[in-house]
Amino acid sequence: MSKQIIASGGTNSIRWEIECSAAEEDGELYTMVRYENEVGDVSKVGFGGPPLYEDGEPNVYIGRADGLPSVLLARVDSRVSRVRVEFSDGSSVEPPLYRVDSYPELAFLVTFYPREITPHLTAIKG
């Protein structure tokens, strides 16, 4: 199972990297995000499963680690043009979608948010 870096980025407070690997024996796709804050706290979290669900729903992981913000990591159909994440405090973001040639049917995204709010993701095709 070889790992591929899909995207990486950062802000003043968080550096992150999305990686993906496929298991040849069962067709599962594993997507992880490694993120680190400015004082060196690190977490690597993510999920496995089919590249896309049959019903077209995004494949989403929501989690958190001590000392770090919460994270939403997702795989969506490549036909999705944008994703909106709305939070329980009324705020929202439209994180960038990352695409790579090795997974043409997919787009990947990640966003970080304060631990005290909850997210809801909406994928918009078009």
pLDDT of residue 126 exceeding 80: no
Q: Is the pLDDT of residue 115 over 70?
A: yes
pLDDT in tens, 13-60: 899 999 999 887 887 899 999 999 999 999 999 999 999 888 888 999
Question: Cα(107)–Cα(94) distance, rounded to whole angstroms?
Answer: 14
Burial class (CB in 10 A: 0-12, 13-18, 19+), 2: exposed
Give residue limits of the domains in the chain: 3-125
Residue 1 pLDDT grade (very low, low, confident, very high; cuts 50, 70, 90): low
CB contact at 8 A, 10 and 33:
no
User: What's the pLDDT at 27?
Assistant: 78
Q: What is the pLDDT of residues 71-114, one digit of tens each?
A: 999 999 999 999 999 999 999 999 999 999 999 999 999 999 99
